[in-house]
Amino acid sequence: MQGVAFARSSEGQLVARGTAERLDYRREGGRLEASRGSAIIHPTPGSSLATYGTIRVLAREAEGEVPNARGTARGGVRVDTARGDSALTDRVALENSVLKGDAPVAARGPGYRVNGTGFSVRTDGTAVRVGGGVRGQLQMEPAR
């Protein structure tokens, strides 16, 4: 399909929506391939991710298996949050609720800026690791 827009709801609430320039979906097996895609994720209130606010993801190419919650995105993968976080890398893989990558990553947000090679992030927001000669800055809040 060309010029696709999609939405996902859970328990009557919109949890994600997005677009793709091209989308191929095979119902049998739930496999998809997309190009020039973007998605906006609305975290569940009270969840670990809710502190980030709305999350936007952009990628040149993506493929995955919807029923198994596995997939990869490549080509200028960018993540931006309403809180002000931003990350840019070339490749991301999702498996077992963990986003992983072995390409250089640059991330910044309120009080931090970091660059490294390789990363691992739990999708619930409870663990973030950046590896491979990490460089960055942390801005501590002034003492009160």
Q: How confident is the model at residue 50 (pLDDT cuts 50, 70, 90)?
A: confident
State the total domains in the chain.
1
**50 SS3 class:** helix
pLDDT given at position 140: 62
Span 52-78, pLDDT tens digits: 889 899 999 999 887 777 889 999 999
Domain membership flag for residue 143? no
Domain membership flag for residue 78? yes
Span 80-131, pLDDT tens digits: 999 999 999 999 998 888 889 999 999 998 888 889 998 888 877 778 888 8
Residue 123 maps to which CATH number? 2.60.450.10
Closest CA to 37 of 86, 1, 68: 1
Domain that includes residue 45, residue range: 2-138
Phi, psi of 48 (to 5 degrees): -60, -35
pLDDT given at position 46: 84
